[in-house]
Amino acid sequence: MPQRLHLVFGGELVDPTKTAFKNVDDIDIVGIFPDYASAYDAWKAIAQKTVDNAHMRYFIAHLHRLRDEELAASPTAELD
């Protein structure tokens, strides 16, 4: 079974209704996790710390989807 890595990252957005970061150099890389459950726990913990700032957003990226060239790519939205 292939390893399913997940990246948790985030930062301040230009507009809270979009997904464009205000400063890419300031993106917070929380970590890479071996499964979705541990990535979700890390995401939830860091997101709760920044709940008072509406411009802060954290995301979970499915890294295993990027590295498995045998699987068809899933549809993703381009960032504005």
Provide the pLDDT for residue 80: 41
Strand order in the sheet with 6-12: 28-33, 6-12, 56-62
Geometric angle at alpha carbon 48, from 17 and 33, rounded to 5°: 95
* Tens-digit pLDDT string for the chain (80 aa): 667 899 999 999 999 999 999 999 999 999 999 999 999 999 999 999 998 999 999 999 988 777 655 655 555 544 34
